[in-house]
Chain A
Amino acid sequence: MREVAIIGAGMIQFGKFPDYPAARMGGDAAEMALKQAGVGPTRIEATFCGNTGGNAPNIGQRINGEIGVTGIPAFNHENACASSSAAFRQGYLAVATGMHDYVLVVGVENMTCHIASGRMSAGPLVLPHGANLEADNGMLMPAVFALLGSQHMAEYGTTREQFARVAVKNHLHSVLNPYAQYQKAFTLEEVLNSRMVCDPLTLLQCCPIGDGAAAVVVTTAENARKHTTKPVYVGGSVLTSGKYKASAEGPVQIEACTRAARECYEIAGVGPQDVDVVELHDCFSIHELVAYEDLGLCPKGEGGRFVDEGLAGYGGKVVVNPSGGLLCKGHPIGATGVAQLVEVVWQLQGQCGKRQVPNAKVGLTHNGGGFGPGNEPGAMSITIVKA
């Protein structure tokens, strides 16, 4: 397998844009990435697009059309919230295995365009009756994590304040990110007192509905050195699935994350202690706290202490979600995986201005997707990149 690198990354600011068609958003993000790469659109040999399928059929092809490219293979990936990390992994494999030399990976989602037709959104958030037994019983995404949080509190003594501190940190980070949907800081009291969504998750601890797109241009490491003095090399890209069976035994964790992270560290030849910056799937504050442990950034059960002591922020052990994360940057479902990668790539390229993580050399993205039987995640994708 060949060594692979990212030579361009771009994203649009996330927000609520019911009239900004998904294909156009994807095209705009792709243009930014191509421009940074210094590569013309006709150099792209294949496009990998992450989207929940809630926008249009052949969304990848439509994005290609927006940038003036037709007649090339386009792979449209649905993997719930991990759609575009899964798409990235396929794009990465296409280059690593020698099938293609230059590929485009785009993540895109327009959720608000459905509101006009009376629906909150399409895709994995709103399922028809009969699709999923847990959802038929009233299971909701915030509840999936509230249940995890409740177990974590009972098992390790984690507190509501500790979960809320994750949100405080991410809201603070978002103030310096011009691409974030929300760029406002909140105090611990404001986070705890915001409207209760699903105990202990208050509104400011839950990611918003929104729209956006992000893109990266991927090529071989050898080609990369012709285009840029700052290629970002892919150390490893792992995609796995949950085991469809909840368990009452063992540590309180998301098993698929622990497993995927272990595999990715091994492939990339680094350990959690080597990681400088992480874009982590904080769909809900609870998910981030538990993921500190499952990613090996701190011991099992000590996620609360990790955030209390400032170890997940600037000046700590590793900066988690410098972008503001899903909570504040936003979570247009299909766009998220690649957007996480874009932030980490920009950090490793030294492009992040006021929110730059000093000396960022190793980055990691953590992107989980959906839930199914047993409330286990459908997909879990971890990517490690190195400067």
Chain B
Amino acid sequence: MPHLLGRQCPACGDISFPPFRHCLRCGGEKETVEKVLSNDGVLLSYAIARQVMPGFIPGYTLAKVRMKDDPSLVLTAQLTDVKESDVEIGMELTMVPKIIKELMTGDKVVSYCFRPKDPARVTLTQ
């Protein structure tokens, strides 16, 4: 199972994803090291995108996810494998890679998405 690769500051412990090579909390000089993130988080906020950019299919749900590794680490990603009516702020989520769009070159783009941790709330998307 793939994991997200963030970075962590050896001095203050702050974790960044997207990864930054210098710690944003300590300030410029402190260099960060690779940190494998847990794939689990909690849904903080969500929004359904209806008018979308080329290559995307309208109707996807964007989410802010508070990661288990650190309460100050919030990712933005798409939700997947869940019905609109089952989405609830505060619900537990887990990361799963999915194809989210196709570029004009024909290449498909895989990204990190989040699905409900509770199997009872999962409705697999085609």
Contacts and interface: CB of A to CB of B under 8 A. Distances in A.
Contacts of A373: 18, 20
Interface string A81-94: 00000000000000
A342 B18 CA distance: 38
Given A139-B76, A150-B89, A248-B72, A126 B64 contact: no
A197 interface: yes
Given A138-B49, A248-B74, A154 B89 contact: yes
Interface stretch (A140-148, A164-172, A232-240, A328-336): A140-148
Interface stretch (B31-39, B52-60, B115-123): B52-60
B interface: dominant SS:
strand
A199 interface: yes
A199 B48 contact: yes
A244 interface: yes
A146 B47 contact: yes
B101 interface: yes
B5 interface: no
Interface string B94-119: 00000011010000010110000000
A101 interface: no
B78 interface: yes
Contact of A150 (B45, B53, B111): B45
Contact of B45 (A126, A154, A198): A154
Interface in B50-71: 50-53, 56, 60, 62-64, 66, 71
A56 interface: no
B82 interface: no
Contacts of B111: 136-137
A138 B74 contact: no
A248 B41 CA distance: 12
B22 to A, nearest CB: 11
Given A246-B76, A375-B76, A138 B62 contact: yes
A143 B49 contact: yes
B16 interface: yes
B47 A138 contact: no
A151 B76 contact: no
A140 B49 contact: yes
A245 B24 contact: yes
Range for the number of chain A residues in contact with chain B: 20 to 34
A249 B71 contact: yes
A247 B76 contact: no
Contacts of A147: 45-47, 62-64, 76
A249 B72 CA distance: 7
B91 interface: no
Interface in B5-22: 16, 18, 20
Contacts of A139: 62, 76
A253 B60 CA distance: 25
Contacts of B16: 245
Contacts of B44: 151, 248
Interface string A235-264: 000000001111111000000000000000
Given A147-B47, A197-B51, 9 more contacts: A129-B109, A138-B56, A138-B60, A140-B49, A143-B62, A147-B45, A244-B20, A244-B24, A247-B74
Interface of A: 126, 129, 133-140, 142-143, 146-151, 154, 196-199, 243-249, 373-375
15 contacts: A135-B53, A136-B109, A138-B100, A138-B101, A140-B53, A142-B47, A142-B51, A146-B62, A147-B63, A147-B64, A149-B47, A197-B51, A247-B72, A373-B18, A375-B64
The 4 closest A-B pairs by CB, nearest first: A146-B47, A246-B74, A248-B66, A151-B45
